[in-house]
Structure 1
Amino acid sequence: MLIFLAFFAANAQTLKSEQIALKKIQALYFARDFESGAEIGEQFAKKFPDNTEIKAWFILNMARAGNAKEAVKLAEKFSEKNKENAWILFALANAYIRNAQPDKAFPISEKLIALTPENEEFILLYANALLTKKEYTRALEFLDKNASKMFDQARLMTLIAELFYRQNEKEKSFSIYAQAQKINPKDVNALYSAGLFLNREKRFTEALPLLKRAVELSPKVFQVREQYWDALFQGQPKKSEQQRKAEVIADINAFLKIRLTSKNLENVVYYFRKIEPVDRQKSVVEDVLLVKFPQTAEAERISINRLRRFNYYTKDRKIDELKKVEYVKKLWTFINRPQYFNQKHVGEVYTNLLHILQDDKKVSDTEYLKIAKRAINYDGLNFTDPYSTISSALIKRGLFAEAEKFAEAGLKKFDVKLSEAKKDEQNKTYLDFSEKTDRAKILNILGETLLKQKKYEKAEKVLLESAETSKEYNYVFKLLGELYETTNELEKAEDSYISYFAIMNLEKPNYDNLKNIYQKRKGSTDGFENYLLNVKKIEKTKRREIVVSGRNKEAKDLVAFNLKTLDGKSFSSNDLKGKVVVINIWATWCSPCVKEMPELQQLYKKYSGAKDVAVITIDSLEELETIKKFMTGKKYDFPVLLSGDYFSAVPVNIFPTTWFVDKQGKIAYTKTGYSKNLLEEFDWRIEELKK
């Protein structure tokens, strides 16, 4: 009897411990502290391996903590052993919802409702599955039908409020949120969700007290704090920007004191970028992350961004030797990191190292080649790196045979990368815009190595291939001019040099090569100035021919959009049908974009009254106020659309990029980079498309 009682007491104690554990995990979930819920949940799931409800809430926390894919895998693994267990199915359906797989989640939620129609967790799951499928009316009808079964009416009202918000019945939504908060003033979700949606509606002042209360109830959660900081910064109009920023920064510091994790530091770094604080504040947080969590992905990103911003030039654009030494040390420090999260970061650093060392006489040719051989194990930012940088540097060092080997290897590597990239739809836009110019670049370098070694026949073949590949800003015509001048084919040399000047459109062109050819023909330079005037006319004609002939061979349809203007109105691509449209993609931080803006403004003014031509721009992922301030300061009035998530569907990697869309809605021309003669050359393309 005593043994039985002892056994019964032990089981009762275990059961009580399990219930306490379950309540802890659930409490963290309802407080939106999913990170802690996942950590503690994992411990409890191991401690009580037979308790499927604990496993379920552990998976829910895990999925909401940003690990939805892992949560799905774990839930699927558990379900293999417990195929009919309701709590495991509950976990699996929730994980599918968080992993954006509503079609898999919904049948499971239907099954659970059929098995246990009174369970409020299963009722909410079913409604959430419908919400994810965007069947809002059906979800509301279901909740109305099952409202009496719900013990936690605040949770019910919070979900109903969200459904009304999704249906664009916003005032009704906020009224229901208020009811939920009245029922349970400590419901973090009712406070947070209402504050989140009020922030989205720019009603920051109303959101502020709700989010402040949510932070008091759940102080360790970044997502709650983030919305609070937005409201704190935007919802106090009577305070100065400096005061509001100071309050946000003070609260960020308070948050990091109670929960200093690498993930929170990463999140804070990103948030600092959002509110545009002084660099010192952002640097302080970054410094903490680099010291406390040096071997994290965010630490690597911070390090690479700092290297990108490092300036080793003096004010008059000369190299500061001491800063150069410091920069090289920093590059080596990055290379010597024990692990890498992004291989392209390593390739980028090696490329920069090779570039800065190319003229360094302290670095021997042998040492330079040793670094180069290590560098080719990593891809750079574009398809030609690091090979193009290595080959160019070796040409400067007079190592022409070695430069040729690297250039040939780079060309083969380029073709391999190109083949792989074409398999991924996401690379399509980049390839459309950069494939030709990148290939021409490596061909030019290879051609130059051959020219330097007097392999003229092979050099001509390679350089002509480059000229055929791309005519836009192609250095090849200068190389062809040098080749033909060397082989005494003066007519070809002259034509190549004129093509080079037409394409490059240099600020201060050097006509010495043409002068040499003129002298060889005439025996003196008499009359060269008159000859040059005629050359400039030919140059402009040739430039127009090159610009107009640069149409995209496989013109693709403009991806449809419906974007917001600076004053909040909708602007649809459907409104542009039947017109020739110029779409300039830019950003205020892009100096080449800003440099060409005066002529872009002139172009807009020229066609502002035209019925068959439209000139518009799309800003890339900047804050509305930043753009407005820029436009007002510069007194520009050309149309600006906010990109939103458009560039996730249509990636743009080069700024500025300009699309010239024909009357059929196809992108006929694509111009990347700065345009020195924007008004003239854009006009040529427009007139061609109007024909």
Structure 2
Amino acid sequence: MADSHRVSRALLFVALVCACTQPQPPAPREAPKVARPVAPTADAADADRVRDLQYAYDPEQCVTEGEALLRVQPNDHRARAWTIACVADSGRRLEAEALADKMIAELPDEPWAAFARVAVGLVDRDFPDAGALIASEPLTTALAYHPDVLQLRARALLAFDRTDDATTLAVAHPEALQPIHLRALFKRSNDARDQLPAALAEAEKAQGVPAVDAAAAAAQALTQAERHDDALKWMEKAIAASPASVRLRQQRWQLWQQAPGRSDDEKREAIVRDVDALLELRGQQPSALLAAAAILRELGQVERADTLERRIAGEFTDSPANEKLLYRRIAAELGPDGAPRPERTAELRAELAGFLARPQLHEPSLREEAGRLRFELLRADPATPPDELLAAIEFMRVAGRTDLESAHTDGPIALAERGVHLERAEALAREGAAAIERFGAELRATGLALEVCDILRRDRLGLNYDALGAVLLAAGRLDEAEAALKQSQEVSPGYPKSLARLAALARKRGDMDAAEGYLAAGFEQDVPGRENPCKVMLEQIYREEHGDLKGYEKFVEKIKARARDIRRAKVIAGKAASPAPAPAFALERLDGTKVGNDTLRGKIAVIKFWFTTCKPCIDELPEFEKLIKDYARDREVEFLTIHSGGETEEVAQWMREHKHAFPVLLDRGFCQKAGIAAFPTFWILDRDGGLAYSLPGAAPNMREEFAWRIESLRG
């Protein structure tokens, strides 16, 4: 298992927390030291050229020129570091990691070697390496505040949504970090559209290589603002400065497809002309051939796309482009849900074996996904030899980057289900718990809210302890299994799989009442994509006891009532024993009237923290409005919402457009002061203004469970 785990906050928060986050300004820190001038060296211009090619979104040319430079100047450590970064950015991630590790081994005291490893860790924009962010800070002093390392540090901060920290650094080093300052301005304009004109005006001032990044950032922000024609104009500027960039050309093709006011034929002709122009410049570059083939196929030019793909497979067999092409063909064998098609299992297994046996694999995420798919196919086949199944799990253990579950949770459970390699299965599960704790520590070190980090950590630990319990159950170690499964429930309450295993264990001991209680506790839980194991077991038990399912529906109603009682008790248990006073606030509604703590005295107040671009916040608004309606005539209960960020007219216009009428207060920085990190978050204040309930994340069973909480405060 790799020691560092890459984290995509957008993915993790939506999938695991069901909450949005907005970057909050950190606590005040000591101002960064102003950069000291770096003494120029004879070969600085050559290394600058290598660096600038990466900044210009042209990593392939960066590699070509960097490698040529190093043949002449092998001791130019800065150029070597940037060349390694470009190797990673060109799609050769695994090779770049090996090159960085080799440089560190050869030059253990050379800061540019550490720079190379950090740069490689930040190449993946979806899954940046948390360890790279941590390692970037000491590098700033080790490299004497060189502009390159300041850029690296600032980009690391932006990768983890620490926009305010990046801005502070940019203000301290304006010449070195002009592109970062612009990136931060555009990032803020995504949430506050009124800031976009100022950001665009700043982008107009950019000169030289920074102008490429400024134009690309402007195009991205304008696209999010649905100003596609303006975005295209900025993208034209970027491409004029870096005409051979495949990445920029692909972004322009997407913009052309989205641009209004043009016919499909006009769009198609413009894109095909641009494809031809790119191939004229880079017709021997595999990434250009792959990009061209993909868009031509999308436009219906299948024969031409096939020709380009045959060139990739024939002339550039070991390239990242061919690796991606091969994996696309594997992915085409999967069903709509991403699972293997049963009728194509044999072919898919052969293709996966061939893919994983390639002499050089480049992209960690493709290697990881291919390993997971192979494991699933082997797991589904009862004829798979135990040693082959274990070998597939061990491969996932080594290849795992973003996926901790496959090797340390799904793998041990698969071995437990077959009763094979139980000793190794236990070791993998216990190793997984340690890996998850490291994952949690790295998340905290990135500056993410501790509350959110803990939710993510606990969610994964719940799955892992369940896997350990399954292994121990299979080994007949019932007391240890029970302890592990109860740990799963402690960190992830209501997880149906561990509840079903606890029920199975209780049945082994002859305690049917306890078994029924566990199954009732998990009966109403959702298990996406699968049957709820508590429901399955309950039906099985009933059939065994009665011979058929006659009367089962009446029995289920009894179980549902018991499940509801269990859930109600758990909900009420979340009330603070001695509610502390809620943080003081006095905020304006959209109509200008003020509401504060004093206004709410004597009432039970339900407060929702949200913002208009937070999908989980918006998804639950229909249920929230029904809840408000339930208490419309109840003078003892008041509902408020506090909108994070934004300006009065902007939020008011959104409310009008979406036909919402619930009360909205603008936070004016209150969310940060109050420590609100996840959105939505709900507060329920008692009559004395005490914070009785604090509920981060989207609220399931909202109307029923909030009614229980409100009634618990009537007193």
Partner residue in 1 for 2:385: 364
Q: Decide whether aligned partners of structure 1 residues 211 and 59 sit closer, same or farther in structure 2, where only a CA change above 3 A counts.
A: farther
**Amino acid in the other structure paired with 1:407:** A
User: Structure 1 pair 232/546, CA: closer, same or farther in 2 (3 Å)?
Assistant: same
Deviations 1:321-377 (A, max 9, x none): 431122212321232122344556544433332222224244334443454455544
Go from structure 1 to structure 2 and tell me whether the alpha carbon gap of 1:168 and 1:411 turns closer, same or farther (over 3 Å shift): same
Distance 2:563 2:66 in 1: 72
Report the counterpart of residue 482 of structure 1 in structure 2: 504
Question: Could you say which residue in structure 1 is the equivalent of 2:641?
Answer: 614
Shift of 1:259: 1.0
Equivalent position amino acid for 2:509 in 1: T
Which range moved further: 356-365 or 407-416?
A: 356-365
Deviation at 1:413, TM superposition (A): 0.7
Which residue identity does 1:466 align to in structure 2?
S
CA contact (8 A) 2:394 2:407 kept: no
Output the amino acid matched with 1:168: A
Q: Partner residue of 2:288? A: 265
How far apart are the structure 1 equivalents of 2:213 and 2:484? 63
Establish whether residue 331 from structure 1 lines up as the match of residue 352 from structure 2: yes
* Distance in 2 separating the partners of 1:199 and 1:338: 37
Matched, 1:445 2:467: yes
Corresponding residue for residue 434 of structure 2 = 416
8 Å CA contact retained: 2:56, 2:213? no
CA contact (8 A) 1:293 1:299 kept: yes
Deviations 1:193-236 (A, max 9, x none): 7797588557765786797698678643457646765775566x
SS in 1 for 2:523: helix
Change (3 A) 1:245 1:395: same
Paired letter, 1:383 = L
Structure 1 unmatched ranges of 5 or more: 1-17, 78-90, 103-125, 136-164, 181-186, 556-576, 619-627, 641-649
- 1:95 Cα shift? 4.0
Secondary structure at the aligned position of 2:608 is classed as strand
1:129-278 mapped onto 2 (5 Å cutoff): 129=176, 131=178, 168=198, 219-222=243-246, 225=249, 229=253, 232=256, 237-241=260-264, 243-260=266-283, 264-265=287-288, 268=291
Equivalent-residue separation in structure 2 for 1:409 and 1:194 (angstroms): 51
Q: How does 1:13-412 map to 2 (within 5 A)?
A: 39=64, 73=112, 95=148, 98-99=151-152, 128-129=175-176, 131=178, 168=198, 219-222=243-246, 225=249, 229=253, 232=256, 237-241=260-264, 243-260=266-283, 264-265=287-288, 268=291, 293=316, 295-296=318-319, 300=323, 307=330, 310-312=333-335, 320-341=341-362, 345-379=366-400, 381-397=402-418, 400=419, 402=420, 404-412=422-430
User: Matched residue of 1:423: which SS?
Assistant: helix
Query: Does structure 1 residue 543 correspond to structure 2 residue 567?
Result: yes
CA contact (8 A) 1:348 1:380 kept: no
CA apart distance, 1:263: 7.9
* CA separation of 1:209 and 1:651: change in aligned 2, threshold 3 A: same
Is 2:462–2:495's contact at 8 Å kept on the other side of the alignment?
no
Q: Secondary structure at the match of 1:338?
A: coil
Q: How do 1:509-524 and structure 2 match up within 5 A? A: 509=535, 511-512=538-539, 515=542
- For 2:359, what is the secondary structure of its paired residue? coil
Tell me which amino acid in the other structure corresponds to 2:427.
Answer: A
Closer/same/farther in 2, CA of residues 604 and 269 from structure 1, 3 Å limit: farther
Please list the CA deviations of residues 549-585 of structure 1 after superposition, one character each: whole Å capped at 9, or x if unmatched.
46999x9xxxxxxxxxxxxxxxxxxxxx996326599
Aligned partner of residue 581 in structure 1, secondary structure = strand
Residue aligning to 1:622: none
Question: 2:78 and 2:607 mapped to 1: Cα distance?
Answer: 56
Structure 1 residue 477, shift from structure 2 partner: 2.3
Paired with 1:64 and 1:348, the residues of 2 have a C-alpha distance of 24
What code does the residue aligned with 1:581 have? K
Secondary structure of the residue aligned to 1:128 is coil
Alpha-carbon spacing, 1:429–1:251, altered in 2? closer, same or farther (3 Å): farther
C-alpha offsets along residues 92-142 of structure 1, whole Å, 9 cap, x if unaligned? 96645654679xxxxxxxxxxxxxxxxxxxxxxx9834857969xxxxxxx
Q: Is 2:493 aligned against 1:471?
A: yes
**What SS does the aligned partner of 1:251 have?**
helix
Contact 1:600-1:679 within 8 A present in 2 as well: no
> CA-to-partner distance for each residue in 1:307-326, whole Å, 9 max, x for gaps?
5564258x9x9975431122
- What is the identity, as a one-letter code, of the residue corresponding to 1:255? L
Output the amino acid matched with 2:462.
A
Separation in 1 of the partners of 2:370 and 2:607? Answer: 42
The alignment partner of 2:403 has SS state of coil
Amino acid corresponding to residue 324 of structure 1 in structure 2? T
Q: Deviations over 1:501-521 (max 9, x none)?
A: 24459789454466479879x
Q: Which residue of 2 aligns with 1:494?
A: 516
8 Å Cα contact 2:451-2:677 kept in structure 1: yes
CA contact (8 A) 2:576 2:691 kept: no
Alpha-carbon deviation of 1:445?
Answer: 3.5
Question: Structure 1 residues 606, 337: closer, same or farther in 2, change over 3 A?
Answer: same
* Aligned-partner Cα distance in 2 for 1:232–1:355: 40
State which drifts further: 336-345 or 609-618: 609-618
Change (3 A) 1:276 1:62: same
| TM norm structure 2 | 0.54
CA distance in 2 between counterparts of 1:47 and 1:475 reads 61
Residues 162-185 of structure 1, C-alpha deviations (whole Å, 9 max, x = no match): xxx9993967986x99xx9xxxxx
Structure 2 residue identity aligned to 1:336: A
Match of 1:580 in 2: 607
8 Å Cα contact 1:199/1:231 also seen in 2: no
Change (3 A) 1:65 1:437: closer
1:386 aligned partner, one-letter code? A
Give the structure with higher Rg (CA).
1
Give the SS at the match of 1:386.
Answer: helix
Contact 2:239 2:248 in 1 (8 A): yes
Change (3 A) 1:536 1:302: same
Q: CA 1:436–1:548 in structure 2 vs 1: closer, same or farther (change >3 Å)?
A: farther
Alpha-carbon distance in 2 for matches of 1:370, 1:385 = 13
- Whole-Å Cα distance in 1 between the matches of residues 425 and 300 of structure 2? 44
Give the match for residue 158 of structure 2. Answer: none
Aligned mates of 1:220, 1:548 — CA distance in 2: 61
Give 3-state SS (helix, strand or coil) of 2:496's partner: coil
Aligned-residue offset at 1:541: 1.7
Superposed CA offset, 1:431-466 (max 9, x none) = 523433433333333433444554434433333333
Q: 1:391–1:407: 8 Å Cα contact kept in structure 2?
A: yes
Deviation at residue 386 of structure 1 after TM alignment: 1.5
CA distance in 1 between counterparts of 2:176 and 2:519 reads 66
Could you say what secondary structure the match of 1:614 adopts? strand
Counterparts of 1:362 and 1:197, CA distance in 2:
56
Q: Tell me the distance in 2 between the aligned counterparts of 1:222 and 1:637.
A: 47
CA contact (8 A) 2:396 2:407 kept: yes
**Deviation at 1:258?**
1.9
Pair 1:192–1:415, CA change in 2 (3 A): closer
CA distance in 1, matches of 2:78, 2:340: 59
- RMSD across aligned positions (CA): 6.6
Equivalent position amino acid for 1:265 in 2: A
CA distance in 1, matches of 2:356, 2:429: 25
- Percent identity reads 17
**Separation of aligned partners in 1, 2:293 and 2:706:** 37
* CA distance 1:384–1:513, change in 2 (3 Å): same
- Which residue is equivalent to 2:667? none
